[in-house]
Amino acid sequence: MSGTGADLDLRRLAREALPPSGGVSFWIHVTPRAARERVGGLHGGALRLAVREPPVEGAANDACARALARALGVGRAAVGLDPCAKGRRKRVRVAGDPAALEERLRALAGLAGTGPVG
């Protein structure tokens, strides 16, 4: 049944599901081939992220996941990027304590004490 509409819906649902342990989901705006790695600020409602790697064969996506893991204080395995995302704007899911992750995201985005993230 590969390639059917039902098959595509199952893949979409799997990408949208948060890990059973909880976590947060949010958008990032990526700048590949940056002079230096940086996580912070906002761009169009998404967390701004700059990585040194080029957007070739998933190198920039891998760098994004590593940078987010460091910035959020979680393991690399806790960070998941939508594998179908090809542009600069990507949906990210991070497993962990939602309250702690949202607090850290607000600090990174420069939004101390505002409403929910994502």
Domain parsing of the chain, residue ranges: 5-109
Least confident window among 38-47, 72-81, 82-91: 82-91
Q: What is the arithmetic mean of pLDDT over 16-38?
A: 82
- Is pLDDT of 31 > 90? yes
Is CATH 3.30.465.10 what the domain over 5-109 is classified as, yes or no?
Answer: no
| Residue 21 pLDDT class (50, 70, 90 cuts) | low
Long-range (24+ apart) CB contacts under 8 A made by 34-39 are 37/63, 37/67, 39/67, 39/68, 39/70, 39/71, 39/108
pLDDT in the model for residue 112: 57
Q: What is the arithmetic mean of pLDDT over 22-29?
A: 91
The residue with greater pLDDT, 45 or 114, is 45
